[in-house]
Structure 1
Amino acid sequence: MLKKWSTDVLAIFETHASAEKAGKICQGLGFEGSFRVDAVGQSGGLWLLWRQGIGDVVVISATVQFIHVRIQKESEVLHIIAVYAAPTVSRRSGLWAELKEEIQAISEPFIIGGDFNTIVRIDERSGGNGRLSPDSLAFGDWINEMMLIDMGFRGNQFTWKRGK
C-alpha cells in the first residue's frame, strides 16, 4: 500500500509490538520520524510515523488511546489526532471527554481519525439487536457536539467479523 500512494503521515493501530521490535518495524517502513505508544502484552499499540519533509512535528500529548501532534511547515499548521479506542466500553470510558478537552484546546486546523471501536449507525454492523448501544449513542452525541464531519471511507463495508 505504501508503494502505491505517496504517504507522508501514517498511523498504525493495534500493533501488538513493543520496544525494540516496534523500532525495527518503523525504521523498515522508511519513515524518519515516529512516536509510539507501545502495546502492553498483546493489547493495543498505536504508532504515528512521518516523513521529514512534512515540517516540524511536535507531540502535544499521548495516551494509550490517542496521539496528538502539531505539524508546522513555514506558516502552515495542522494538528493530527490519531485514535485507537480500546475495544471494550469499560476500557474506553472517559475517552470522549479526554478528546473533547484535547480538541477544545486547539485553535488551528486539525484532523482526528482512527479506529474508534464503536459505530454511529446500525448499517455499520451486521447482525445484533437492531439498536445502538449507549456507548454508540454517546459517540454520536460527541461527534455532533464537537461538530466533526465523518469523511467516510472506501473499501469493504465490514472489515471485521467475530471469530475471524
Structure 2
Amino acid sequence: MGASYNGERAGRNWRGMMAVGGARGSRSLHLAVGFCNSEGLFRGLLIAWDTNYWEAISSSEGHHFISCLLRHWSSDKVFRLVNVYGPPQRSGRESFWTELVVLLSDSDAPMVVGGDFNITLGLDEQQNCRGCPTDDALFSSLIADSAFFDLPLSGRRFTWSNNHSSPAMARLDRILINDPMERLNANWRVRAGCSGLSDHAPLTLVVNRRLKVGIFRMEQYWVGIESFTDVMKDCWAPNEDEGNFTTIDRWLTNTKKCRAGLGKWSRNLKLRSNSRIVVLEKQMEDQLLAMEGADSADQDSANICAIREELDNYYQTQHVF
C-alpha cells in the first residue's frame, strides 16, 4: 500500500487523487492515493488504498514520511499506515532520527511503519557494504525503546543490491509494527518479492488468518489444483447406502462429505505448501550468498528469478493483509 518513486523536483505537498473505478462496495478496484513529490535527494512517497474496503480518516507528513489513518469499512477497525524514506547520506540523518522518534512515540493506535530506511540493524544485514555501526546501534535502540517489532523477512536475506557482478547487498527496507498492531494478529510476517528492474525488492505484509474451530471456508485457488477435482469426485460418487435417499438427503450427505474431505485435503496441502516455502526460502538465501564473486552471475540471476516465481505461486495461497 506504500511506495517510493522518483518524481520531478517539487514542493512536498500532501495531495489526494481518486482513480476511476466503481462505487464503494462494488467489486471493481477503486483507489485513493496520497503522495508527496521528490525533493533533491529525497524520493517521493506514495500511499494508496482501495476505497471498497478502507476509508482515510486523516493524514500527515514530515520531511521523511507520509502517514494515513485508515478505517476498515466492515470491521470498523482503525490503523495508521506510515511510509518512510530515510536519507541515503549520514548528513541528513539527524533530522530523520528526530522525526522517527516522534513518529514511533505516537503508538496508541495500531501502526505499521514501512519503507526504505536506508540503514541496517547490524553487520549481518550487509554484504560488501560500508555501513555505520553507530547509526545501526542507534536505529536498533530506537526501535526497542519505542516498543516496535521489526518483522522478520522471508523470501530473501537482503532487500537492496547494486546488481554488480560482485554485488553489494543490504537489508535497507523493512516493516515495523507496534504492540497494538501485533495484538490484532500475532501471525504477521513480511515477504520480499522479485525486484525486477529495481535495485530494491518490494515488501508485502502478510497475515495468516486464524479461523474459529468448526468454520469451513472454501478458497478460490483450490479450483486450480488438480487434486481438488479428485476429492470432489470421491465425495460425490454414488454408493449403495444412497438407494433410499431423497435428492435433498443425498445433497446434504454429500455436502458434509465434501466439507470433511476438503478440510483434511486442505490441511495436508497447507503442510506441503509451508514445507516447500521453507525449502525455497533457504535456496533463495543460498543463491544470493553464492552470487558474491561468482562468474556465472547471469545463471545465478536466472535461478533466483525461477525460485522467486515458484515462491510467489505459493505465497498467493496465503492471506495477504
TM-score (norm 1): 0.75
**Secondary structure class of the residue paired with 2:92:** helix
Change (3 A) 1:49 1:128: closer
1:145: how far off? 0.7
**Secondary structure class of the residue paired with 1:93:** helix
**Secondary structure class of the residue paired with 1:94:** helix
Q: Could you say which structure has the higher helix fraction?
A: 2
Name the residue aligned to 1:136. Answer: 136
Structure 2 runs not aligned, ≥5 long: 21-28, 165-198, 200-321
TM-score (norm 2): 0.41
Change (3 A) 1:128 1:32: closer
Structure 1 runs not aligned, ≥5 long: 1-9
CA contact (8 A) 1:37 1:64 kept: no
Matched, 1:38 2:37: yes
Instruction: Provide the aligned C-alpha RMSD in A.
Output: 2.8
In structure 1, what is the Cα distance between the partners aligned to 2:143 and 2:43?
A: 23
In structure 1, what is the Cα distance between the partners aligned to 2:142 and 2:32?
A: 31
Name the residue aligned to 2:116. Answer: 115
Change (3 A) 1:161 1:99: same
1:105: how far off? 2.9
1:162: how far off? 7.6
Matched, 1:65 2:64: yes
In structure 2, what is the Cα distance between the partners aligned to 1:121 and 1:47?
A: 28
Deviation digits for residues 53-91 of structure 1 (CA, Å, limit 9, x no counterpart): 232213431123111111113531111111111211222
In structure 1, what is the Cα distance between the partners aligned to 2:124 and 2:35?
A: 33
Name the residue aligned to 1:6. Answer: none
Deviation digits for residues 101-149 of structure 1 (CA, Å, limit 9, x no counterpart): 22323421111111111011211111356x7521111111101111211
In structure 2, what is the Cα distance between the partners aligned to 1:79 and 1:127?
A: 35
CA contact (8 A) 1:81 1:112 kept: yes
**Secondary structure class of the residue paired with 1:64:** coil
In structure 2, what is the Cα distance between the partners aligned to 1:42 and 1:144?
A: 28
Q: Which amino acid aligns with 1:138?
A: L
Runs of 4+ in 1 over 3 A off after TM superposition: none
Name the residue aligned to 2:286. Answer: none
Moved more, 137-146 or 148-157: 148-157
Aligned pairs, how many?
147
In structure 1, what is the Cα distance between the partners aligned to 2:30 and 2:119?
A: 30
In structure 1, what is the Cα distance between the partners aligned to 2:7 and 2:129?
A: 32
Name the residue aligned to 1:7. Answer: none
